[in-house]
Amino acid sequence: MKIYTKKGDTGSTSLIGGTRVAKHSLRLESYGTIDELNSYLGLVRDTGKNEQCTAQIIEIQDRLFTIGSSLAADPENSKMVLPDILDSDVIQLESWMDEYDEQLPPLTAFILPGGHESVSHCHVARTICRRAERRVTELQSASFVDPLVLTYLNRLSDYLFVMARVLSKWANAPETPWVPRK
């Protein structure tokens, strides 16, 4: 399979199902942001160096490929059978968060991102996830998107926040509370 096709040189590309759309379309922006998140999670995985987190991130990256393929398909014309996001995928994220939360002190204030390289990367991934969620929400207002995709993205950003906190704890890095100026 060749990487280049020479068919996108005029600013359009094909969705799964054959429909051609502009490369700046909301659908492409949505799955492009999912791809950006997936790539950034690779960096989180490489800087975290924790076997449990690494295994979880690999599983999440797989789900993001599932979401990306769903968003890359023309909901009207694609006949390709694609994997689905399942309720159990959302439940898995919640279970991991609950497990991490048991190790953490209660959150009593907003915290400033940072404190350790792996924590900072996790926060950047969280914000990319939130942007992906905004793009997909906008796409959903114009075209069909499986509602579980949005649920998964929402829960994933929460998971990334909790993961940043637990990475901070494991690294003995400080959590800096936000103290608003008076």
Q: For every one of its 182 residues, what pLDDT tens digit does the chain have, with 9 covering 90 and above?
A: 666 676 666 676 666 666 776 677 788 899 899 999 999 999 999 986 788 899 999 999 999 999 998 888 777 766 666 668 999 999 999 999 999 999 999 999 999 999 999 999 999 999 999 999 999 999 999 998 999 999 999 999 999 999 999 999 999 999 999 999 99
Under CATH, what is the fold of the domain 13-177? Hypothetical Protein Ta1238; Chain: A; (1.20.1200)
Cα(135)–Cα(142) distance, integer angstroms: 11
Question: Furthest-apart CA pair in the chain: how many Å?
Answer: 60
Cα 52 to Cα 27, 58, 72, 100, 108, distances in angstroms = 33, 10, 30, 11, 27
Asked if residues 148 and 90 have their Cβ atoms less than 8 Å apart, the reply is yes
Residues 6+ apart with CB under 8 A from 29: 135
Q: In the chain, where are the structural domains located?
A: 13-177
pTM (predicted TM-score): 0.90
Tokens of 152: 């998964």
Q: Which DSSP symbol is given to 14?
A: E
